[in-house]
Structure 1
Amino acid sequence: MSLPQVCVCYLIRRRADGRDEVLLGRKKKGLGLGKYVAPGGKVEPGEGIREAMTREVLEEVGLAVEVADLAARGVLTYLFPHRPAWSQQSSVFVTRSWAGVERESDELAPEWFAIDEIPLGSMWDDAKHWLPAALAGEYVEASFSFGPDNSSVVLPA
């Protein structure tokens, strides 16, 4: 089964107190409205995943990321049996290097969160199963199937 390809990037920086924090944004429209997500989106026809990632970060939060600075952290498959058009495969990246200052877009309202204070309860339900590991440096490959509410993960996928 060939699923639409999407990508997501978690930008991480070190705070003055030595703790790491990650940039998330409250989704302002479309799929995931109201949830906290990382910058990301669809890979356009003829576009590489890493090139799509740099474009999406710039469009959604105004930060310029170089392809070479993207560290792959996983591939996630999202299945929505009750809304098949939402099913997709997501490439996950992290980076600690970018240029610019984050800004709000029509897609996201960005906020920084200490990594140990990520609002997992306000994110997609799958995040609690893989995001802490990915942010800790692990490479994650997983599939998640969502229930009839198209919001809750049904395990196993």
Structure 2
Amino acid sequence: MRPTTLCFPVRSDGKLLLGRKKRGFGVSKWNGFGGKIEAGEDFLQCAVRELQEETGLIAREEDLELVGFLDFHFSASPELNHIGFVYFLHTWQGTIQETEEMEPTWFDPAALPYDEMWKGDRTWIPMLLKKEKVKGIITFAEDNDTVAHMELHTVDA
């Protein structure tokens, strides 16, 4: 089970920054920014590093707001299973730039490109946007895309 992070920068007008994955796992899907924890890192350090690598934005660990913990299971490819802490970020420095891995774009929360995102995102992301904190398990079917089962709970902290 790989530990990962996922970070969604949120502007003061409520728009979310998503990135279209340009290569590797999840290619062509819109998602938040993040990835696998490297040796010696904790979750916050990973989120800060991945955000900078994928967008050019510079975040401080203390500005990351923990909004979710998700356990992703891939029935056909258990090596893809991972847990992830999900963060919102409202304060950062730097200028957004496209990288070789991600194409960042701002989206209005009412117009997120769910048809081009991971299945299941259309369930848990709206919960986060309603200021609910979420914990759960998402199990993907044999095609590694369709959600076979999802169990989500709201939590206080």
Aligned 8 A contact 1:7 1:43 in 2: yes
Aligned 8 A contact 2:67 2:88 in 1: yes
Does residue 83 of structure 2 align to residue 85 of structure 1? no
Amino acid at match of 1:68: E
Matched pairs, number? 151
1:34-68 per-position Cα deviation (integer Å, ceiling 9, x unaligned): 00011111111220100000000000000000000
- Residue in 2 that maps onto 1:21: 15
- Residue in 2 that maps onto 1:70: 64
Shift of 1:156: 4.5
Aligned 8 A contact 2:136 2:150 in 1: no
1:54-99 per-position Cα deviation (integer Å, ceiling 9, x unaligned): 0000000000000000000010010012001110001000011000
Partners in 1 of 2:106 and 2:23 — Cα distance?
Answer: 20
SS at match of 1:75: strand
- Residue in 1 that maps onto 2:4: 6
Gaps of 5+ in 1: none
SS at match of 1:13: coil
Shift of 1:106: 1.1
Gaps of 5+ in 2: 152-157
Q: TM-score, with normalisation over the residues of structure 1? A: 0.93
1:85-137 per-position Cα deviation (integer Å, ceiling 9, x unaligned): 11000100001100011000111000000011111111000201201111222
- Residue in 2 that maps onto 1:127: 121
Aligned 8 A contact 1:94 1:135 in 2: no
Partners in 1 of 2:110 and 2:134 — Cα distance?
Answer: 19
State the Cα RMSD in Å: 1.0
Amino acid at match of 2:65: A
1:109-124 paired onto structure 2 within 5 Å: 109-124=103-118
- Residue in 2 that maps onto 1:37: 31
- Percent identical pairs in the alignment equals 32
Amino acid at match of 2:11: R
Aligned 8 A contact 1:82 1:148 in 2: yes
Runs of 4+ in 1 over 2 A off after TM superposition: none
Does residue 64 of structure 2 align to residue 100 of structure 1? no
Amino acid at match of 1:32: G
Q: TM-score, with normalisation over the residues of structure 2? A: 0.93
